[in-house]
Structure 1
């Protein structure tokens, strides 16, 4: 159906105010940590103690390979107080075109004719200003933005929920396998003449002793059974004091399979004939529903896929490409729901490594252990920066990094408690929302679809 709305077209420079003159780069060595985001071509790259801008602005990548590949958005909104280096243009809209509309427009705009640089793509301010912008009247811009923003807000909410779920799993992991809270609670209770089992139940559930008996029997009995699995003594090990009957095991001793990743080919041929989704280091560690929708699909050989195809419980570990502020060692453990989000096999990209645990139960422990030591900055101990790029010394890590390995019954109980939390991070709703947004975006921006309602609501 032909659009009944009048559409206009002008060069971007005529419908924006450019603020590039206010940008100021600061060398990494000269930055002082602070509360304000420091933006570059692809988003926040640091946090600094000052700001150049205060308000809502659109940042557009000025250089970088992502201008061609567009694996991440080339334009993104920045709100509040922040700093921008000279790798991102910064603009605001005018009365003709709003900043928010322009943000969505650039996500589907063809910018290839305006890029320069054979090796490193660049979008100069002059060429940026020449990009033709097609737009309807302001009222219709607001309606289009309302639809797309409602979807983005719901996706962002899901992402925050995912972060909360991850934090919950991390807290339980730290309590059981780093701080050994149930064991120490038993030890303290014994010394004070209290019931050790009840003390461990309190440590595991987070509920005061007086509230334990208010739990229904179907919760109280499993809690008591789990608490009974923990000893009431600690013993020395290479890792320090650990629960009696546990072991300090090298990380690599709990793997059956490790292999480097592969980037595959752009197009299929006689050899590279198998379609495969590639998980990159840039996707880690927060690979969630919206991001799986953007993982690149390439082509590989059956032989390579046979050894690299990810299974439930496998871990992707980034082993190259870090920096001072972001060392290598980011990781992601494949959940069952995450596997269902892909319509083809999945393997790690180059600069990543596939780790296959001896069991899914041990895999949950290893995956959370990797996240824990990364957040603690411990992966720096395994970096080799002799080449100027932070490379993860995988062989050394697998041998030297020790993990508190529990008896099978404890590992099974932990898996039963934590795996459902991790699986919830990949509820199919997130993927559906991302797919809906990506499908609507070009149709709304071209006028193929019209929005007539002034009220937009996105529900689960």
Structure 2
């Protein structure tokens, strides 16, 4: 694919654009602009019908596992009211978290709430182009600054959305632009899906060995070693590491020879701190400064929202944590967990474990993920804001297996997590490239040839 620059441009309300492009209102790009239900139906357990709010929107799809289930009668009523998106519609979050945007591709029985706008492009506009245009930072900044309600909960009305100016290249050029940018999105999403699968593999092994104790139970049940090894994909050497009975502990029944440790016995616990914001020289190019918003949806933080300079690091050197540390959010949004892959610092809402052994890293990460509800309960001290202090966090009980078994688990899972990190880094590079060329494509500073036979 080749790109070429264009020089014949005209002035518009959106700045200079190619002379053969137009600017129209969003309503003129659509055959339908609506939103979802303005009332929230009652939840119906085990129903196969779903309703989505903004919190259920992922990067490029509705997260069905978090959606509320509703009755068939409520679902049918909302379908008749136009609250069900069609494949090819563009969904745009207009209340609360504003600007989540993707082309809808799902075929499940899902309707949406009023916090989500449904945009159905007309024949002159391509869905993927429109999605990319609305995802452009310049467009989002324009929308938010010009139309946000200004209330504590940012909100757009359908009337606001109708008036948003939209560039209009030819449909052929729109499709080329949409396809180029969507290729980046597809590769990033593929990496995300592979990483979810890889983490699931590690979690399955973790659960079998350290939650369900499958090898121990199989031995206790008298299952022949050959059968256990075949079923659990063990070698006899690994099977021999596991005991054949349980003992009582603070955590209930655990395998004989294993113990219960507090988190602080696995390594040093460091509570983060924010360098002085009055010193701008403390922030800029440097090591990651991890905050809770950086901890969502990934194992590692490869693109932190902020970094600390060497001066900032030196101002609180004891708050630096090494690669392989496990960070756990403990205030407000409690129970988010990530692993550091380079020296980092965190803010005061995060407690970090610096493991005594690198073989603890993956095990502790999965243990901390397993304890999300326990952390939440410990942080619920009767105040409005959840808060689990460092002392309470450090004393949480965690199962300590035989180190030989823990070492073998690490040998199996560390390569999996290394692959996850590589894919996260690749996705970050792709995201940066996409975000660099997106505004240039949307302004026409870079043009894509239409009808190029050498694609």
Specify if TM > 0.5: yes
Pick closer, same or farther for the CA change 1:397–1:231 going to 2, 3 Å. same
Instruction: Classify the secondary structure of the residue corresponding to 1:320.
Output: coil
State which drifts further: 144-153 or 237-246: 237-246
For 1:316-335, list aligned pairs within 5 A.
Answer: 316-322=327-333, 328-334=334-340
The question of whether the paired residues in 2 share the 8 Å contact of 1:41 and 1:63 is answered with no
Pick closer, same or farther for the CA change 1:149–1:264 going to 2, 3 Å. farther
CA deviations 1:9-53 (Å, max 9, x no partner) are: 1122322345435432428xx444555251227826633324631
Which residue matches 1:269? 280
Which residue matches 1:434? 431
Q: Alpha-carbon deviation of 1:125?
A: 3.4
Aligned match for 2:68, one of 47, 62, 66: 47
| TM-score, normalisation: structure 2 | 0.78
Aligned match for 2:268, one of 230, 242, 256: 256
Q: Alpha-carbon deviation of 1:285?
A: 4.9
User: Structure 1 regions of 5+ residues with no counterpart?
Assistant: 68-72, 207-222, 323-327, 340-344
> How far apart in 1 are the matches of 2:453 and 2:199?
30
Pick closer, same or farther for the CA change 1:15–1:278 going to 2, 3 Å. farther
User: Structure 2 regions of 5+ residues with no counterpart?
Assistant: 9-17
Pick closer, same or farther for the CA change 1:237–1:288 going to 2, 3 Å. closer
The question of whether the paired residues in 1 share the 8 Å contact of 2:245 and 2:256 is answered with yes
For 1:13-52, list aligned pairs within 5 A.
Answer: 13-17=27-31, 19-20=33-34, 22-26=36-40, 30-33=42-45, 34-35=47-48, 36-40=50-54, 43=57, 46-49=67-70, 50=75, 52=83
State which drifts further: 172-181 or 87-96: 87-96
Which residue matches 1:130? 163
Instruction: Classify the secondary structure of the residue corresponding to 1:425.
Output: helix
- Superposed CA RMSD in Å reads 3.4
Whether 2:302 is the aligned partner of 1:292: answer yes
Instruction: Classify the secondary structure of the residue corresponding to 2:241.
Output: coil
Whether 2:23 is the aligned partner of 1:9: answer yes
CA deviations 1:33-88 (Å, max 9, x no partner) are: 55525122782663332463141332333344x55xxxxx5433344443333333
> How far apart in 1 are the matches of 2:125 and 2:262?
58
Pick closer, same or farther for the CA change 1:272–1:449 going to 2, 3 Å. closer
CA deviations 1:260-307 (Å, max 9, x no partner) are: 354874x96255576443434344353168x834x3125572256523
Whether 2:302 is the aligned partner of 1:302: answer no
Which residue matches 1:233? 245
Instruction: Classify the secondary structure of the residue corresponding to 2:327.
Output: strand
Q: Alpha-carbon deviation of 1:166?
A: 0.6
Which residue matches 1:243? 255
For 1:217-232, list aligned pairs within 5 A.
Answer: 223-232=235-244
Whether 2:386 is the aligned partner of 1:382: answer no
Q: Alpha-carbon deviation of 1:417?
A: 0.9
Whether 2:443 is the aligned partner of 1:446: answer yes
For 1:84-233, list aligned pairs within 5 A.
Answer: 84-108=112-136, 109=139, 110-111=141-142, 112-118=144-150, 120=152, 121-188=154-221, 191=222, 194=224, 196=225, 198=226, 201-202=229-230, 204-205=232-233, 223-233=235-245
Instruction: Classify the secondary structure of the residue corresponding to 2:110.
Output: strand
> How far apart in 2 are the matches of 1:85 and 1:310?
42
Which residue matches 1:219? none
| TM-score, normalisation: structure 1 | 0.77
Whether 2:411 is the aligned partner of 1:416: answer yes
State which drifts further: 414-423 or 364-373: 364-373
The question of whether the paired residues in 1 share the 8 Å contact of 2:126 and 2:171 is answered with yes
Q: Alpha-carbon deviation of 1:360?
A: 1.8
Which residue matches 1:396? 392
> How far apart in 1 are the matches of 2:262 and 2:231?
27
> How far apart in 2 are the matches of 1:158 and 1:275?
26
State which drifts further: 236-245 or 110-119: 110-119
> How far apart in 2 are the matches of 1:457 and 1:202?
53
Whether 2:361 is the aligned partner of 1:357: answer no
Q: Alpha-carbon deviation of 1:397?
A: 4.5
Aligned residues: 410
Pick closer, same or farther for the CA change 1:203–1:455 going to 2, 3 Å. farther
Instruction: Classify the secondary structure of the residue corresponding to 2:322.
Output: coil
Instruction: Classify the secondary structure of the residue corresponding to 1:20.
Output: strand
